[in-house]
Chain A
Amino acid sequence: MKRVGVFVCHCGTNIAAAVDVGEVVDKARLERGVVFSAEYPYMCSEAGQTMIANAVKEHNLTGVVVSACSPRMHEVTFRKAAAKIGLNPYMLEMANIREQCSWIHKDKDDATKKAVSLTSAAVAKVHLNTPLFAGESPVTKRALVIGGGIAGISVALDVADAGYDVDIVESTPGIGGRMAQLDKTFPTLDCSACILTPKMVDAATHDNITLHTYSEVESVEGFVGDFTVTIRKKARSVDMKKCTGCGACYDKCPAKKAPSEFEEGLSNRKAIYIPFAQAVPNVPVIDREQCIKFKTGKCGLCETVCAPGAIDFEQQDELVTQKYGAVIVATGFRPIELGKFGEYAPESKDVLTSLEFERITNAAGPTKGALVRLSDGRKPKSITFIQCVGSRDTTPRGKAYCSKICCMYTAKHAMLVKDKYPDIDVNVYYIDVRSPGKNFDEFYRRAAEEYGVNYIKGQVGKVVDMGDHLVLQAADMLDNRQITARTDMIVLATAIEPLKSTKPIASMLTASIDTNGFMTEAHPKLKPVESPTAGVFLAGACHGPKDIPETVAQAGAAAAKVLGLLSKSKLTTNPCVAAADELACNGCSACESVCPYGAIGYEDRQINDHGVRGNQRLAAVNTALCQGCGACAVTCPSGAMDLLGFSNRQILAEVDALCR
């Protein structure tokens, strides 16, 4: 019989105001095996922990129950305190009498009764607790970054600079991501490419960084410290070792009808191409769906002009398998499809998304920086920006969240237009202007006050393309009037969403995504760069809409967490793992078939069943792989498989106590 001590916390008045703590203490003393019970205003404080420590020594306690807040809050605190005084940490259980009792039940009698019941269940469980010991698992000193945008590049550089190997997997032919498409950045209006391209080159030339461009993550196995990832390097049809980046191939390529992804489809690219002039790596790729050689077997002009003989039409996808200690997801965002937003006439050539507008204003873009209407090449006399297209939209077609970056880039766009062409009339329709970053509000006010950008609070209900101009209908909510206005170009601040590939990547990593498809963080405040899956970290817009400074800051934070992990020589594993009773197991394999981690194998072993010896096929749990879900324990018909820390008997004992 265990000697159990029960410690009931007041949590100031958080518990004590709704629960008669004294009653809980008194009732606990009547429970089987309870030799000591006490209360304290803040059990988690130094003094409270000392009280527990002293009681364990004085009363020779072998089991401890703390009735306080949620175990998700302080179980670790108390288990550490138990370990400090030589009690196995798993001989301690918590009863949650705050979140699941005092905070929600108004009636003091009811709350007290429930607190007593929850405490008795914890006592019943602790009687069946056994000391558990954490195992160790290795740490592979290498990190994988999924996504080669500014987030991925930043993480990779930070981790690589600290001396660890980093691989970047990028699905497109080159790194740089969305930031490479931008013209200027807010709120400083410095050139995006000027600050990004040096980083891209740093990443490509860093001794510790390996780039896998035009590559995708194929599969992920393993767990924190020991992931095994298979990367599919898609056939580039160009030998990266031989290619010198001279560009003769794409100069000569006759297939020129593919819409350029980098230019948002506003101009075409060749079938063999580099995404943009400063692409890293500067090695072209053949788009096999566009290539005449692949389509008809004829052509092969690129091969003919390639002096080093780098063109390889026979190249196959290559699978690379590598071990990693940590994985950083930095898959980024894309603008939503506007098919369901017909009222804005998104099919009109003079109605652009903001990202398309970035390309129009960019000197290297499809118009060479000339601000013209794409329909007729005329310079617009009036440009209208419409905010929140699909953002803060609770209808099924839209996104309920704020896309966060649109207010500022619209101010930027408006200012850039006014700067170059003060004669162009610039109007912005907005719901609210949100500018809470450093120097952001000043930036927006400059646009509105110094540059003369006309901000109209109201939503646009209809856009019609009249051929040589556009007409829009809107409501001005401050003046409370309907507006019908003529304009020459419309720019839609299109909501952003995570890439479609985020979901399969999250599944492979067993990390979770939220209802909007963004990666979920482990804790919204305290663990903002960790995913709930150990060893998987988040950077950038895959986690939620973010601007560049925020993305870089998160990337730095993720890198710090990765470094903390990679610098460890070993990790301690969860001791609450499955274990099979060899005398009950008949080796039926049911448990093996449900294990999500492949942690169960079988071995033929001699067993000694009370003197009867015999060989038996038995389940064997790999405790380094087992994550302790318990699927096996329930599948096992004979009850041979059980879960340490949450055993059948422990849970039944809790049921019995709670239903008393």
Chain B
Amino acid sequence: MQITGEQTFTPLITAFCCNWCSYAGADLAGTSRLAYPAEVRIIKVPCSCRINPLFVLRAFQKGADGVIICGCHPGDCHYIMGNYYARRRMTLLFSLLDFMGIERGRTHLEWVSAAEGAKFAATMSGFAENIHKLGKNRRLEDLRCKSS
């Protein structure tokens, strides 16, 4: 077993992106060669309203240090109103997690359009930096799922 200090901590970040805006925004970041940390792993969902709170909790359980959700800007949802539902759901979920003492910075939601490649990269870099500062997720972890 290797003992790692805070300096070498590389956070693991799960990003849920809606297919129509944010995933396309991530693609645009790629096409534009805008770098963001490699620890960000994207899962494509059709819409931000497809994101079940259980997905967020599962990510933390399995070792994520931060979970970020991206969707179309309000008013731009491909499915008319999905992001409005997501907005309420995630607000209440994030607030409940905060209430239970899980660090606020570990969850985040950002609206990223298909045209906002730069915003996508900047958002991911900023989020990763915050998670880096927060350190390893200790308050919502499942020790059985930790390999190191």
Does B associate with A? Answer: yes
Cα distance A474–B70 when bound, in Å? 47
Q: Is A656 an interface residue (CB 8 A)?
A: yes
A660 touches B63 (CB 8 A): yes
How many A-B contacts if CB must be within 8 Å? 137
What residue of chain B has the Cβ atom nearest to residue A509's Cβ?
B80
Cα distance A493–B58 when bound, in Å? 57
A100 touches B50 (CB 8 A): no
B59 touches A532 (CB 8 A): no
B46 touches A629 (CB 8 A): yes
B33 touches A104 (CB 8 A): yes
Cα distance A630–B43 when bound, in Å? 15
Q: Is A651 an interface residue (CB 8 A)?
A: yes
Of A99, A113, A533, A629, which contacts B30 at CB under 8 A?
A99
Contacts of B147 in A (CB 8 A): 660
Of B24, B46, B62, B76, which contacts A628 at CB under 8 A?
B46
Q: Is B122 an interface residue (CB 8 A)?
A: no
17 A-B pairs whose Cβ atoms sit less than 8 Å apart in the complex: A99-B30, A101-B30, A117-B41, A507-B80, A512-B72, A512-B78, A576-B46, A596-B79, A627-B79, A629-B46, A634-B52, A634-B89, A643-B50, A651-B50, A658-B59, A659-B59, A660-B147
Of B26, B54, B82, which contacts A629 at CB under 8 A?
B82
Cα distance A517–B116 when bound, in Å? 17
Contacts of A589 in B (CB 8 A): none
Of B31, B62, B76, which contacts A655 at CB under 8 A?
B62
The B46-100 residues at the A interface (CB cut-off 8 A) are 46-47, 49-55, 58-59, 62-64, 72, 75-76, 78-82, 85, 89
B29 touches A104 (CB 8 A): yes
What residue of chain B has the Cβ atom nearest to residue A627's Cβ?
B79
When each residue 598-637 of chain A gets 1 if its CB lies under 8 Å from chain B and 0 otherwise, what string results?
0000000000000000000000000000011111011100
Contacts of A630 in B (CB 8 A): 45-47, 49-50, 82
B27 touches A100 (CB 8 A): yes
Decide yes or no: A655 and B14 within 8 Å by CB, A70-B30, A100-B26, A104-B33 being known contacts. yes
A96 touches B55 (CB 8 A): no
Q: Is B20 an interface residue (CB 8 A)?
A: yes
Q: Is A648 an interface residue (CB 8 A)?
A: yes
Contacts of A596 in B (CB 8 A): 79-82
How close is A132's CB to chain B, nearest CB, in angstroms? 14
Q: How large is the interface on A (under 10, 10 to 19, 20 to 34, 35 or more residues)?
A: 35 or more
Cα distance A196–B19 when bound, in Å? 43
B51 touches A72 (CB 8 A): no
Q: Is B44 an interface residue (CB 8 A)?
A: yes
When each residue 12-32 of chain B gets 1 if its CB lies under 8 Å from chain A and 0 otherwise, what string results?
101000011001101101110
Q: Is A118 an interface residue (CB 8 A)?
A: yes
Cα distance A73–B20 when bound, in Å? 13
A633 touches B52 (CB 8 A): yes
A633 touches B27 (CB 8 A): no
Q: Is B121 an interface residue (CB 8 A)?
A: yes
Cα distance A648–B15 when bound, in Å? 16
How close is B124's CB to chain A, nearest CB, in angstroms? 9
Interface SS, A side = helix
Contacts of B44 in A (CB 8 A): 71
Cα distance A100–B17 when bound, in Å? 12
Decide yes or no: A104 and B43 within 8 Å by CB, A532-B78, A655-B59, A659-B64 being known contacts. no
Cα distance A110–B40 when bound, in Å? 11
Cα distance A630–B42 when bound, in Å? 18
Contacts of B75 in A (CB 8 A): 507
Q: Is A114 an interface residue (CB 8 A)?
A: yes
A651 touches B55 (CB 8 A): yes
Q: Is A646 an interface residue (CB 8 A)?
A: yes
Q: Is B143 an interface residue (CB 8 A)?
A: no
Contacts of B23 in A (CB 8 A): 70, 72
The A60-96 residues at the B interface (CB cut-off 8 A) are 70-73, 96
Of A96, A104, A107, A532, which contacts B20 at CB under 8 A?
A532
What residue of chain A has the Cβ atom nearest to residue B45's Cβ?
A646
What residue of chain B has the Cβ atom nearest to residue A514's Cβ?
B115
Contacts of A656 in B (CB 8 A): 58, 62
What residue of chain B has the Cβ atom nearest to residue A114's Cβ?
B38
Contacts of B53 in A (CB 8 A): 634
8 further interface pairs, Cβ-Cβ under 8 Å (given A110-B38, A596-B81) = A71-B44, A96-B42, A100-B30, A103-B33, A512-B76, A630-B46, A646-B46, A656-B58
Contacts of B58 in A (CB 8 A): 652, 655-656
Cα distance A660–B42 when bound, in Å? 14
Contacts of A533 in B (CB 8 A): 78
Cα distance A70–B147 when bound, in Å? 30
B47 touches A631 (CB 8 A): yes
Q: Is A373 an interface residue (CB 8 A)?
A: no
Contacts of A121 in B (CB 8 A): 41, 43
Of B38, B46, B78, which contacts A105 at CB under 8 A?
B38
Q: Is A348 an interface residue (CB 8 A)?
A: no
What residue of chain A has the Cβ atom nearest to residue B28's Cβ?
A99
When each residue 481-516 of chain A gets 1 if its CB lies under 8 Å from chain B and 0 otherwise, what string results?
000000000000000000000000001001010100
B14 touches A634 (CB 8 A): no
When each residue 404-433 of chain A gets 1 if its CB lies under 8 Å from chain B and 0 otherwise, what string results?
000000000000000000000000000000
Decide yes or no: A105 and B55 within 8 Å by CB, A630-B45, A658-B14 being known contacts. no
Q: Is A98 an interface residue (CB 8 A)?
A: yes
B38 touches A70 (CB 8 A): no
